[in-house]
A = this chain, B = another copy of it.
Amino acid sequence: MVKITDVARHAGVSPSTVSYALSGKRPISEETRRRIEASIRELGYRPHAGARALASSRSNVLALVVPLRSGIHVPVVMQFAVSVVTTARRYDHDVLLLTQEEGEEGLRRVADTALVDALIVMDVQLHDPRLPLLRALERPSVLIGFPAAAEGLTCVDLDFKAAGELCVQRLAGLGHRVVALVGSPPEVYVRETAFAQRVVQGFTAAADRNGMASSVHPCEATPAGARRIAEQLLRDQPALTGVVVHNEAVLEPLIDAFEQLGLRVPVDLSVTAICPDELAAGLRVPVTSVALPTAELGERAAELLMRKLDGDPDVPEATLLAPRLTERASTAPREAR
């Protein structure tokens, strides 16, 4: 293994000079830097991560806690993860994968052993048991998602309440008077997963504000679940003309089910969704949707974390992305019926 002293000898400088050339923490003359870089290349030098971590008390690794629990849509999680990794790499950091299963002990472990410098936590519940820990930890963290009480924590998320409102608003604008929300699977609400609750709030508030009749329906993430909901809606709410879907897995099956039951989208039924744009745009009936900007959220989370690691004193605590609705083929004025 080639080490920094080898490079130093080869370049005719001291090890500390090599270190400074690498980190840029002190000025190094143009010529010396060139020589050092040449030696590094020639010898194939790679600084030892452990040694670096020990000496600098920075591991350059972030922890990412991914949820595996039932009811969450895996591809979306993966999009977050990829975005976090990609962004972290831009800042010369790597990402350690933690499963939700490891729980608080896992967070404490990687933080206390200095395995990681900072943490990103997904799938936040309104009253998440990890919050006190995250506040107490000596390492910075960012949550993707908003708990009920977010003081002292840095959080990033789509403004799901506004997203729910926006969907309803759009349907209201098109003249719809009776709307339903098809939401996440029941267990997600039982756990009080923050984003799911917020959508319900926004949905209900906007419907009330507009004097619309509204109802909320948790939905299993399976085609069978979708079909069941569709049948139930058709039976119990014959006047229904607008549906908001907040459940990636059932978006397509649900539309299929409606059509098989004789409700054409958007002629008889307007559908809006909250989900990643690619999903909404790629369906047989492209769906009018509020984008869930996974790439941007992951990127923001990682960037905020880097700023905190840099000691930036005014990193915003709350970053709520405003919802953006894209009109597609699944919505139409109610008159069109």
Contacts and interface: CB of A to CB of B under 8 A. Distances in A.
A150 B102 CA distance: 35
Contact of A49 (B48, B94, B114, B282): B114
Given A49-B113, A77-B78, A78-B77, A95 B97 contact: yes
Interface string A44-83: 1011111111100101010010001000001101100110
A223 interface: yes
Interface residues of A, number: 46
A108 to B, nearest CB: 8
Question: By DSSP majority rule, is chain A's interface helix, strand, loop, or mixed?
Answer: helix
A95 B98 CA distance: 8
Contacts of A101: 86
A252 interface: yes
Contact of A96 (B51, B95, B113, B256): B95
A99 B75 contact: no
Given A75-B74, A113-B47, A282 B222 contact: yes
A101 B90 CA distance: 13
Nearest to A64: B97
Interface of A: 44, 46-54, 57, 59, 61, 64, 68, 74-75, 77-78, 81-82, 85-86, 89, 94-99, 101-102, 109-110, 112-115, 222-224, 252, 256, 282-284
24 contacts: A44-B112, A46-B113, A48-B113, A49-B50, A49-B59, A49-B114, A49-B115, A50-B52, A50-B53, A54-B54, A61-B115, A64-B97, A68-B78, A74-B75, A74-B78, A75-B75, A77-B78, A82-B99, A85-B98, A85-B99, A94-B97, A94-B98, A223-B283, A256-B256
